[in-house]
Structure 1
């Protein structure tokens, strides 16, 4: 027996997702293909009349869903198999990353109205949700909520108007992502908030975010870069996809060491898809350098995305910028190699040269940019820390991040400027 879900992009039916004998298939709607302005759901799903088989279909659609424990708990909530991408999209695929919405055949897309369906929350209700999320990810199963975001950490799409936090019901687009503290990771909210503030101060164009507190409870509110307001104030979706989706890689192998994308593939994707590509490629280089120097070891291919603007695809703003290297219990291995090395302590000048070569960049230009960031990061980090307006002064985790940045930047500068330095194996500072 075949099961079907209609796949809507923006406000139009783009195609049909089908499940037959446990295998997914996707086919674009002929009416969608006939449109002069038709766009593809994904780089990995180009516009064509022929259906895509399971191998081609799964990476994009599975890539819209939560992972790990979050996925298992959501599957339990709906009494479906943890491996059933189709059933999970059926239950929670109303508000996804990008502009995709899933509806049952014949179901109408909720009409946008002046009065969006938002359940505004009191402070007590926000705290109750923070307590509920670890046990009920995405608030799965609550009436009127069909919310999905990729990733393994707790998060929730919400609406934030500058003062109030609300839950988007019945197809209302969210405006922000609420990120609570990560269990067993000390002060992850301040960590990510500081790293995003640092990237923003360096004009690296990250996602905008701010730490919020209710009593003693803190959380991060991140502006959704894949949402915008139109001329009359209605919130609209902007399509996007992460690099694994664009490269046709399933979420289970997002890390390079398990067969996932490497940095050369990421740079090649940006160069192929964006026009003009040079500014986007240089932005990606900045992100890679920033991640290395701040200790964000979990920067795998699902932590980079393409954003599909009217003028064409661009590299999405920087997101998920946690400095994982300051936590001794987390791996010292980076998600993607720089040159031939997974460990930052082993990266010499020649490995940065290998990165440049694989990315199709001039080695001299790459070295110049690495040195620029390595010299500007430490003083910029200290300035942010000392500014009471940012709220990071006296935070122990932020102090450890800055100490790590100072050590990594000094090491990098020495290795890139002193010809006598070779084959060192400096250790990270103790955390």
Structure 2
């Protein structure tokens, strides 16, 4: 027996996701294929009449779901198998990354009437929510909530209006992602808030974020770059997909050392699908260098995305940025190699050159930009740390991050300007 879900993109039904004898398949609707403006759901799922088998189908659809222990807890809450992508999307696939929604066959797409479709929360309710998230990720199982975001960290799609925070119900688009503290990581809120703000100071166009506090509880609100407002001020979805989805790689293999994408594959993807590609390739270079210099060792292929906001996809803003290198208990290995090296301390000038060549970049051009960022970043970090408009100056963790940035930038400059590096 086949189980089916209708796949909607924006407000249009474009295909069917089916579970047949335990295997996923996806097929575009013939009516969608006839549309002159029809677009593919993913770079890895080009427009075609024939259905895609499980190997082709699963990377995109599994890539919409939470990972690791979050997935296990959600499956327990919903009483389904944690391996069952289809059942999980059936239960929580209402508000996903991008503009995808899953509905039962024949079910009408919810049309939020007004702001009454948002459940606005008081401070006590937000505290309760923060306490509940570790036990019930995505608030799975609550009536009227079908929320899903990829990743292994607790987070929740919410609607933010000024100081108000609410839960989107019955198909209402969320505007922000609420990220509580990671319990096993010291002051993760300050860390990510500082790194995202530093990227903005460096004009790298990251997702915008704000640190909020309620009583003694702190959390991060990250503005969704895959949402926009129309002329009437109504929230609208924009489509997006991460690099693993676009490259047809299942989320369990997101790390390079597991067989996941390397930087060469990421640059080749951007060069292949964006138009004009040169500015997007240079933006990706900035992202890679910035992540390396701040010590974000967890910058794997699911932490880069394509945003479909116009005629051709563009590189999405930076997100999920944490200086993991400041924590001695977290891995010193980077998620993707620079040249042939996983450890930043072992990256010499020749490894930066290997990286540039594999990414299709001119060595001299890449070296010039790497040096430029390495020279600008320490002063920008110190200035942000001291900025009275932020609360970073009193945090010991920020001092450790800035020290690490200074050390990494000095090391990079020294290695790239040594006589041998000029050859």
| Other-structure match for 1:158 | 158
| Other-structure match for 1:45 | 45
Cα deviation per residue 1:213-242 (whole Å; 9 max; x = unaligned)? Answer: 111111000000000000011111000000
| Other-structure match for 1:129 | 129
Cα deviation per residue 1:185-239 (whole Å; 9 max; x = unaligned)? Answer: 0000000000000000000010001111111111000000000000011111000
Q: Aligned-pair distance for 1:183?
A: 1.4
Cα deviation per residue 1:87-137 (whole Å; 9 max; x = unaligned)? Answer: 000000000000000000000001243445100000111111011000000
Q: Distance in 1 between matches of 2:329 and 2:3?
A: 44
| Other-structure match for 2:342 | 342
Q: Aligned-pair distance for 1:420?
A: 5.6
SS at match of 1:241: strand
Q: Distance in 2 between matches of 1:76 and 1:115?
A: 32
Matched, 1:379 2:379: yes
8 Å Cα contact 2:112/2:170 also seen in 1? no
8 Å Cα contact 1:92/1:145 also seen in 2? yes
Q: Distance in 1 between matches of 2:210 and 2:234?
A: 23
| Other-structure match for 1:73 | 73
Cα deviation per residue 1:236-295 (whole Å; 9 max; x = unaligned)? Answer: 100000000000000000000000000000000000000000000000000000000000
| Other-structure match for 2:324 | 324
8 Å Cα contact 2:14/2:32 also seen in 1? yes
Q: Which stretch has the larger CA shift, 303-312 or 58-67?
A: 303-312
| Other-structure match for 2:265 | 265
Q: Aligned-pair distance for 1:163?
A: 1.1
1:207-218 pair list within 5 angstroms: 207-218=207-218
Unaligned runs of at least 5 residues, structure 2: none
Q: Distance in 2 between matches of 1:72 and 1:343?
A: 31
| Other-structure match for 2:190 | 190
Q: Aligned-pair distance for 1:309?
A: 1.1
Matched, 1:168 2:168: yes
Q: Aligned-pair distance for 1:337?
A: 0.1
Q: Aligned-pair distance for 1:421?
A: 8.0
Provide the TM-score with structure 2 as the length reference: 0.99
SS at match of 2:313: strand
SS at match of 1:90: helix
Q: Aligned-pair distance for 1:311?
A: 2.8
| Other-structure match for 1:178 | 178
Unaligned runs of at least 5 residues, structure 1: 423-431
8 Å Cα contact 1:158/1:165 also seen in 2? yes
Deviating 4+ runs (over 4 angstroms) = none
User: Would you say how many aligned residue pairs link Structure 1 and Structure 2?
Assistant: 422
Q: Distance in 2 between matches of 1:154 and 1:115?
A: 26
Matched, 1:223 2:223: yes
1:349-360 pair list within 5 angstroms: 349-360=349-360
Cα deviation per residue 1:128-182 (whole Å; 9 max; x = unaligned)? Answer: 1011000000000011000000000000000001210000001100000000001
Matched, 1:390 2:390: yes
What is the root-mean-square deviation in Å for CA atoms of aligned residues?
1.0
